[in-house]
Amino acid sequence: MKRVEPTYQKPISPALTDRERAILRLVVHNFINTAGPVGSRKLARKSSLGLSAATVRNTLCDLEELGYLRHLHRSAGRMPTELGYRAFVNELMETPELSAPERRLLKGRLDRLMGDADSLFRETSRLLARMSNLLAVVLSPNISTGILERLDVVSLSESKIMIVISVKSQLVKTIIYETNMEVRRQDLDRIVSILNERLAGLSLEEIRQEYAERIRDLDDDPTGIVQLILNESAVVFGDSNEGRLSHSGTGALLSQPEFQRTSEMRQLIDLIEDEGFVVQLFEQAPGSQLDPNRWVSVGIGSEIQDESVSPYSIVTARYTIGESSGTVGLLGPIRMDYGRAISLVETMATLLNRTAITSSRQHNHPNG
């Protein structure tokens, strides 16, 4: 199946009465907890609304006509539709705060990994997966949005150099080149100094666009570094999605009732194995669809307009380190505990916002 770039569309919900809102909340809560439809008698017994089974049944019928609920056959109970989940997330759900011990656990684990980006992101995804039983995804910051602090060139051997890009978010990118150039240290230091004078303080995106103009008078460079960087500017000042993804929780997710059939398991595994698509999916997540004072977003089922993702929902939040931003999120069945997922993702994003890290991304690129 050919995948297209995911986009997100939020449906408009018809207005509900207080009774309809209360009943819809109960149905969604029950389905999230049990993965099974619920009937009017059970709802009447379980609720504290003081309503008869007949009144509940009529309200369920009204909600079904409005598109919030559905049932598989006449005698079956109701279950939420995507519209029902959307109304629940936007208007009816309470988002529980994580407990104090949970918050201390998360902060303690992440604090210990400051300075080791790879371990930090792996541990973040592992903790999120363990605490949600969903697929946890962490995308490391996109370095191309960062502001260049310093460019360095290090001679590793007679035939190998390393270009080091340091940005103000404390992220570091390294690129190793095979080269036949014989470079004197004195000449190299002079060229690197000139490049830093002209490029430091600009974003990597700006440098990629303006580099040729800024170095056009440096045609006497004896090192060949200026021309090498020009030829490789898309690599040196760009960003690759390769290596940005950390994920965990596949086993827990496959144990959910939605993934018991072989075809559904295969579809999920294929999705997870497509690293580029997962990065794109979470990177393209919409802006906040919830309270405007919060930065968590939720995409439910077909709102994520890619057929391969329609059985799932995703909860994401951006975090920022310096000038660069990354994404943390959860993917799971549409029947997920949205309140818990939102609370976990929001807490993790907040903790990552406050964490100073150093990341080294190494690219081996031969250049004869």
| pLDDT, position 288 | 41
| pLDDT, position 23 | 94
| pLDDT, position 242 | 66
| pLDDT, position 262 | 86
Number of Cβ within a 10 Å radius of residue 216: 10
| pLDDT, position 141 | 83
| pLDDT, position 4 | 47
| pLDDT, position 214 | 93
**Helix, coil or strand: residue 293:** coil
| pLDDT, position 131 | 95
pLDDT in tens, the chain (368 residues): 445 455 555 555 668 999 999 999 999 999 999 999 989 988 888 777 888 989 999 999 999 999 999 987 766 789 999 999 999 999 898 888 899 999 999 999 888 887 677 788 899 999 999 999 999 999 988 777 788 999 999 888 877 888 998 887 667 788 888 887 777 888 889 999 999 999 999 999 899 999 999 999 988 888 889 999 999 988 888 876 667 889 999 998 888 888 888 888 888 899 889 988 999 899 887 654 445 455 789 999 988 877 888 889 999 999 887 777 889 999 999 999 999 999 999 999 999 886 545 444 444 555 54
Of 186, 188, 193, residue with least CA distance to 151: 193
Sort residue 103 into left (φ over 0), alpha (ψ -120 to 50) or beta. Answer: alpha
The set of long-range contacts for 264-273, using a CB threshold of 8 Å and a minimum separation of 24, is 264/311, 267/308, 267/311, 271/308, 271/309, 272/135, 272/247
pTM of the full predicted structure?
0.78
167-216 pLDDT, tens digit each: 876 677 888 888 877 778 888 899 999 999 999 999 998 999 999 999 99
Instruction: Give the start-end residues of each E strand in 33-108.
Output: 69-70, 79-80
